[in-house]
Chain A
Amino acid sequence: MRSFVFGFILLLIAACQSTTSVELQDRPLRVHVPKGFKPIKYPEDNEPTELRVLLGRHLFYDTRLSLDNTVSCGTCHVLSAAFTDGRKTSEGILKRIGKRNAPTLANVAWAPRFMMEGGVPTLEAQSLAPLHDTLEMGGDMMVAVAKLNRDEELRKLARAAYGRDSIDPFVITRALAAFQRTFITADSPYDRYKNGKTDELTEAQIRGMELFNSTKTMCFSCHSGPNFTDYAFYNIGLYEEYADEGRQRLTGEDSDNGRFKTPTLRNIELTAPYMHDGSVSSLEEVIQLYNEGGKRHRNKDARIKPLHLTEREQADLVAFMKALTDYNFVQNPALLPLK
Chain B
Amino acid sequence: MKKIIRAVFYAFTAVALLAACKDNKKEDTTPAVTTATLKISYAAHWQGNPYVHPAVVEDNFGNQLRIDKFMSYVSKLSLIKEDGSEYLLKDYSLIDFLQSPTVEFKVPAGHYTGLKFLIGVPADVNTNTDPAPYPSDHVLSVAGSQGMFWTWATGYIFTKLEGKADTTASGQPLLYPFAYHTGDDHYSRYAHLQYDLQLQPGAQYHKTLIAHVDRIFSPVQGTSIDLSDIGGFHSPGPAMATFVNNFSNAFTLE
Contacts and interface: CB of A to CB of B under 8 A. Distances in A.
A245 B143 CA distance: 30
A122 B130 contact: yes
Nearest to B241: A252
Contacts of B133: 45, 170
Interface residues of A, number: 29
Contacts of A210: none
A169 B153 contact: no
B142 A250 contact: no
Given A170-B132, A170-B133, A248-B235, A142 B142 contact: yes
A120 B184 CA distance: 13
A45 to B, nearest CB: 7
What bracket does the count of chain B residues touching chain A fall in?
20 to 34
Contacts, number: 73
Classify the interface of chain A: helix, strand, loop or mixed.
helix
Interface string B215-254: 0000000000000000000111100100000000000000
Given A128-B142, A141-B142, A142-B143, A119 B154 contact: yes
B168 to A, nearest CB: 26
A128 B143 CA distance: 12
A249 B236 CA distance: 8
A122 B129 CA distance: 9
Q: Which one of B149, B150, B153, B155 has the greatest number of beta carbons of chain A within 10 Å?
A: B153
B141 interface: yes
A124 B142 contact: no
Given A141-B142, A142-B143, A169-B141, A132 B151 contact: yes
A170 B141 CA distance: 10
Given A129-B152, A142-B142, A169 B236 contact: no
Contacts of A170: 132-133
Contacts of A119: 150, 152-155
Contacts of B131: 128, 169
A125 B154 contact: yes
B238 to A, nearest CB: 8
A145 B153 CA distance: 22
28 contacts: A45-B133, A115-B152, A119-B152, A119-B155, A120-B151, A121-B154, A124-B130, A125-B130, A125-B132, A125-B151, A125-B154, A128-B131, A128-B149, A128-B151, A129-B151, A129-B152, A132-B151, A133-B152, A142-B136, A168-B136, A169-B136, A169-B142, A249-B234, A249-B235, A250-B235, A252-B184, A252-B236, A252-B240
Interface of A: 45, 115, 117, 119-122, 124-125, 128-129, 131-133, 140-142, 168-170, 172-174, 245, 248-252
Closest 9 CB pairs of A and B: A119-B153, A252-B236, A252-B237, A169-B142, A169-B132, A128-B151, A125-B130, A129-B151, A132-B151
Interface of B: 128-133, 136, 141-143, 147, 149-155, 184, 234-237, 240
Given A121-B154, A128-B151, A252-B184, 19 more contacts: A117-B152, A119-B153, A119-B154, A119-B155, A120-B151, A124-B130, A125-B129, A128-B142, A128-B149, A132-B147, A140-B147, A142-B142, A168-B136, A169-B136, A173-B130, A245-B235, A249-B235, A250-B235, A251-B235
